[in-house]
Chain A
Amino acid sequence: MSDPILSLHRLRQVFDGFTAVDDLSMAIPQGEIFGFLGHNGAGKTTTVQMLTTLARPTSGTATVAGHDICADPLAVRRAIGYVPENVRLYDTLTATENLLFFARLSGVADPRARVREVLDLLDCADLADRRVGGFSKGMRQRIGLAQAILHRPAVLFLDEPTSGLDPMGIKMLRDLILRLNAEFGMTIFMNTHLISEIAKTCTSIAVLSHGRLVFHDRIEAVTARYGDDTALEVLYLSLTPVGRLSEVA
């Protein structure tokens, strides 16, 4: 196993007395497709906000690609790409104009060439000169993914990437994620609710419940221990409040 590209040590986030993330420690090796599971309000998005330097942790620390998120946030930002849930981009601008904007902000050396390259890579060159305002959810998600990989990040953070997508869109996105990981060695950190996607895409998973890490292992270990994909759902439910309630019932 290679050195961890993401390393979290006792990470904690408290908002107005509410502990959103509590004492979170884990390490994710380079090249993983990591699935981060948890119920609504479990603290997944807050964790991603801290790792992407959008929010400063209340205590604890983390490194991304060897850079401390508090001490060197600009270096962390150079190493990451981020796709939030339901990203909309700038409706009045074309796909190319949107991507050029983010490429320039990321300091990409030849932004025009890189934008063409990424549009080709994601098989959406036909969208280049169309305004994003007229795009479907799936098209937006692809351009959203394109903006995140323009600067060839080492780690790609995806927050509920399949939210609102139809089955075709989900499959297309899954193939893209697998391709980015296989061809470019990109580490993927994915927040999701879809257990079926975890089984098909991820190499390791973790489950967060009420801000606390309750499970973290490689996917082969999970399937070896619990059997097929359905067992993953049983495992997840047993670790979350909903599962525990059903057990009581």
Chain B
Amino acid sequence: MPDAVLTASPLRTIAAKDIRDALRDRFIVIVTAFLGLAATVALMTGAIALRGDVATYEAAKATLLAIGKAADAIKAPEFYPLRLLRGAIEQIEIIGAAIAILIGYRSAASERGRQTLALIFTRPLSRWQFVAGKALAGLGLLAGGLALVLGGLTLVLQLMSGIGLTADDLLRITIVWAVATAYTACFFLLGFLLTLHMRQPSHALLVAFAVWLLLVLIAPQIGDTLDPDNQVAGGVFRQLNIAKSDQVQIMKGFATYETLRDGIEQASVTKHFERFTFAVLGIKATYAGMPLGPILTEMLGNLVWIFLTALGLGALALAVPINPDRLAKA
């Protein structure tokens, strides 16, 4: 008779194995390094420009002092170093989501291809523990990868921009890291779910990337492209000198159109991520210099949407039974 006793949590065992396995996969390591590099290049370009602006201001101030005038004779410009993270956020939005799909795909396809699903499911553990272990590993990999990327960027920002980061800035970056983990987790779960359940793993990858194309590249752009006010540089209303009250009146005539346009945007988790991060980091001019509290209150809807999408996909992964055909055949 077997002498087995449950001494280790299967969930933790599966997660630890998956992380170790993925970290030894050169492809995963290389694409993550590529994301870091792309984000760093985007940041460095902005940081060099900002450093130039800071130097120009410092030089002007020194000149004023040298000729005996007060330094406040010219208005001190406001520098927002976190806005330099715009490029990095866009890379996470697009490349980060694609990498998350690949990690999710790999997580399920490798078990199917190696016939190890059958070995796991003949062990005394529940299928929810398997799915939860996999999800935990995915979250760990994404959180770790994003921490490395954002941590590295913070360092570069500090060193290159010439402006010291405050505790508030670091808190904002930490919040963005947590939300970016939840955002990329949505795509990990999408890739994992489809690959685990579809007949052919390769077809699952194609479907996952079709969804990625729709959610990440098409839907968020539709909002901007179809916005009537975006059709002319600087805005139609502004160019025509139309007063705010009249703008509201005019837009009432486009209510259905606007609802549809907004609905497409709302359906994209990427748009919610962009709105949230752009606000928290002050990338969108309206939020630059605004305290964190009111921003979080205003952006709560976007935050809820991101976390609900991740939780919904996680619940789906736990709820859908696995077809025995997927256990032993690739």
Contact = CB atoms under 8 A, between A and B. Distances in A.
Q: Do A and B share a complex?
A: yes
Chain B interface mostly helix, strand, loop or mixed? loop
A210 interface: no
A164 interface: no
B21 A90 contact: yes
Interface in A27-69: 45, 49, 52-55, 65
B122 A53 contact: yes
B124 A78 contact: yes
28 contacts: A49-B324, A53-B121, A54-B324, A54-B327, A55-B324, A65-B1, A74-B124, A74-B125, A77-B122, A78-B2, A79-B1, A82-B122, A85-B115, A87-B116, A88-B115, A89-B116, A90-B21, A90-B114, A91-B114, A93-B20, A102-B123, A105-B120, A107-B4, A107-B7, A107-B124, A147-B119, A151-B4, A154-B1
Interface string B6-19: 11101001100100
Contacts of B7: 104, 107-109
A197 interface: no
Contacts of A92: 20-21, 24-25
A91 B4 CA distance: 26
Contacts, number: 108
Per CB-CB distance, the 9 closest pairs between chain A and chain B, nearest first, are: A55-B324, A92-B24, A88-B114, A107-B6, A105-B123, A107-B4, A82-B122, A104-B13, A151-B4
A84 B20 contact: no
Contacts of A107: 4-8, 124
A52 B13 contact: no
Nearest to A82: B122
B79 to A, nearest CB: 46
A45 B328 contact: yes
A163 interface: no
Contacts of A52: 118, 122
Contact of B17 (A78, A81, A93, A151): A93
B323 to A, nearest CB: 9
Interface string A97-114: 100011011111101000
A151 B110 CA distance: 24
Given A107-B124, A152-B4, 8 more contacts: A54-B118, A82-B119, A87-B116, A102-B123, A105-B123, A107-B6, A111-B8, A154-B2
